[in-house]
Amino acid sequence: MQISKLFDGDKTVLSYEIFPPKRNDSIDKIYDTIEKLSDLNPDFISVTYGACGNIADSKTADIAQLIKDKYNIESVAHLTCINTGKEELDYILNDLESKGIENILALRGDINPDIKPKKEFKYASELATYIIKRGGFYVSGACYPEVHVEAEDSIADIKNLKKKVDCGVSHLISQLFFDNEVFYAFKDRARAADINVPIEAGIMPVTNKKQIERMVTLCGASLPAKFVKVLQKYEDKPEALVDAGIAYAVNQIVDLVANGVDGIHLYTMNNPYVARKITESVKNIL
């Protein structure tokens, strides 16, 4: 099923992101996570791409297949291109297709200083174009409410996003953000540029201080004053911070839904407890 078709109805789409276990971690834990998440009936689950985009370590395809075949939930396989050549990419696409995966989230991927980038694909738009020309998949893309950290400015960032959509990307998932006004301003810029595909808002419930510090460093997400106050008040109270992080995410979602967001993509961090708390709090408004 094409993911973008989920947005044809009146319901606000709710989806989750999970990641495969690291090389030395047991895969049983992710099976347990999927089991618990499936009970919450998300519209789809996306699966990130290995460790640092390394196909040798990735169980993405197998996990995406399990979600779809065992739990009858649509899955989206993430695929990065910065360290992937065409031969390897063809192998991955054939593997995904053989496992019945129909939807791919096409990403450039983070640059690993220890790995020299391949030259075939520099940008996610090039990867998306390659996949779409090959056929056999529906392609989603990422977008950045606070502007991609490497973009010259917001105008250049929207132009790059328009390239993705013009090449056939039919659904967008946003990078995480903590200030809804930032998302609304971004959405207005996108619609003004004739980017009319569904845009899901990426929400990450913050449950520990190290997590947020890492995300801010990687993504460049800004922290509104009210969010900083939450962190400062509960940073030394782990259980309270979990509850506060869940409450903040729920408040974000309620406001987003009230303002007509196409969908909510919850970055679960493989934590079904947090996903359940949030889902149960918002399920009646979606």
Active site residues: 17
HEC-encoded secondary structure of 154-209: HHHHHHHHHHHHHCCCCCEEEEECCCHHHHHHHHHHHHHCCCCCCEEEEECCCCCH
| CB within 8 Å of 46: residues ≥ 6 apart | 15, 16, 17, 18, 75, 76, 77, 78, 105, 173, 265
Place of tokens 């950045």: 144
> Whole-angstrom Cα distance, residue 163 to residue 145?
16
Q: Are 6 and 255 in contact (CB under 8 A)?
A: no
> Whole-angstrom Cα distance, residue 1 to residue 170?
13
